[in-house]
Amino acid sequence: MAVTGVAEKPATKGTYPKGVARRKQIVRAAARIFAQYGYHAGSLRNIADDVGVTSAALIRHFQDKEGLLTAVLEYWDEESQVASSTAPGLDHIRQLPAMMEYHLTHRGLIELFLTLATEASNPEHPARDFIVKRYDSTVASLSSRIREAIDAGEVFLPAEQVESEARGLMALMDGIELQWLLQPELDLVALFSSHLDHTLARWTGEVQPLSNSTEAFVVQGIA
């Protein structure tokens, strides 16, 4: 019922070069349609027309609509991992704007995630599990990077505040990307970078960029 883990691809089918290529073509089209209309309102016929086949072909490949959704989520997972850095500690955080820059040129990635995420606020939604797990793992990853920075002495934050900071960063990114979807003329990278700078200044205990002043003013233990 719910789409959670990795779908088992048919052992024989789907491994022939031609089939694989077609499969990918369908998944890409489906990602586009689901991003634009959502899962429920995005129709198989619409996707099929985009590819240039019939909806029956889609069913052959993915069994049903939910099977296609699973494949789309896997595809999104891979594609969006391209954008995220593997750097440790604070370097990872500092590269978040670059990730957003990448999103800017791959609008579909943002659109798909936000569309499915809000749609999945309905507990019955087949992508619900995937989305919730994705959030959890992103929070966990960001938290780990922050803790690395704390251990390295670059950041000063009480341990119990780390997750809240991670969630705040994610919320900020999601919210800015939502605004950008509605008003593409917005400079989302500049907006995020500016707020990230303030956040990093607070974490590192520095004041603001201008005054690189003498006394280290450590703001920690704020709860």
Closest CA to 184 of 76, 104, 119: 104
- What span, in angstroms and rounded, lies between the C-alpha atoms of 149 and 85? 15
CA-based end-to-end distance of the chain = 41
Tokens for 14, please give them. 């789907």
Tell me the Cα Rg of the chain. Answer: 21
119 binds, among DNA, a copy of itself, none (CB under 5 to 8 A by kind): a copy of itself
12 binds a copy of itself (CB under 8 A): no
Binding test (CB under 8 A) with a copy of itself, winner from 12, 86, 105, 183: 183
Stretch that binds DNA, among 51-59, 77-85, 156-164, 185-193 (CB under 7 A): 51-59
Tokens for 75, please give them. 């595809």
6 binds a copy of itself (CB under 8 A): no
Binding test (CB under 8 A) with a copy of itself, winner from 63, 137, 141, 179: 179
The contact pattern for a copy of itself, residues 105-124, with x = CB under 8 A and - = no contact, is ------x--xx-xxxxxx--
191 binds, among a copy of itself, DNA, none (CB under 5 to 8 A by kind): a copy of itself
- What span, in angstroms and rounded, lies between the C-alpha atoms of 54 and 211? 64
2 binds, among a copy of itself, DNA, none (CB under 5 to 8 A by kind): none
Count helices and strands in the chain by DSSP H and E runs: 10, 0
Closest CA to 128 of 45, 48, 28, 40: 40
User: Interface residues for DNA in 12-31 (CB under 7 A)?
Assistant: 13-14, 16, 18-19, 22
User: Interface residues for DNA in 187-206 (CB under 7 A)?
Assistant: none
51 binds a copy of itself (CB under 8 A): no
Taking the C-alpha atoms of 139, 140, 145 and 148 in order, what is their torsion angle to the nearest 10 degrees?
A: 140
**∠ CA 123-125-131 to the nearest 5 degrees?**
85
Residues in contact with a copy of itself by CB under 8 A are 36-38, 40-41, 111, 114-115, 117-122, 128, 131-132, 135, 161, 164, 167-168, 170-176, 178-179, 181-183, 186, 191, 194-195, 197-198, 202, 207-211, 213, 215, 217, 219, 222
